[in-house]
A and B are shown apart, each in its own frame.
Chain A
Amino acid sequence: MLKSTAAALVLAAILPATALAECVEVTQGNVTVSAAWSRATIGTDRPAVFYVTIRNNGSEERLMGIETPVADMPMLHESVVENGAARMSHVDQIVIAPIDAVSLEPGGYHGMLMDLQTELVEGTTFPVTLLFEKSGPVTIDTAVLPLRAREAACEEAL
Chain B
Amino acid sequence: MRRGALILGGAGMVAAVGFMLAVGAWRSGDLPWQQQVTETVGTRGADLESMSWQLTSHEGERVSPQSWIGQTSLVFFGFTWCPDVCPMTLLNISDWLEELGPDADGLAVHLVSVDPERDTPEVLADYLSNFDPRISGLTGSPDEVAQAADDFNATYRRVPRDDGDYTVDHTAGVMVFGPDGRLSSMIDLHDDPKFAVPKIRRAMEREV
Contact = CB atoms under 8 A, between A and B. Distances in A.
Interface in A100-150: 106-107, 110, 112, 114-115, 146-148, 150
A79 B82 CA distance: 11
Contacts, number: 82
A60 to B, nearest CB: 26
Interface residues of B, number: 35
Interface stretch (A1-9, A62-70, A84-92): A84-92
Q: Is the interface of B mostly helix, strand, loop or mixed?
A: mixed
A87 B159 contact: yes
Nearest to B80: A46
Interface string B155-177: 10001010101010111110000
A84 B26 contact: yes
Given A81-B189, A83-B27, A148-B130, A88 B94 contact: no
Complex A-B, nearest 5 residue pairs according to Cβ-Cβ distance, in ascending order: A86-B172, A87-B169, A83-B26, A147-B130, A106-B88
Interface of A: 39, 42, 45-49, 73, 77, 79, 81, 83-88, 106-107, 110, 112, 114-115, 146-148, 150
14 contacts: A42-B127, A79-B85, A81-B190, A83-B26, A85-B155, A85-B171, A86-B171, A107-B84, A114-B163, A114-B165, A115-B163, A147-B130, A148-B91, A150-B91
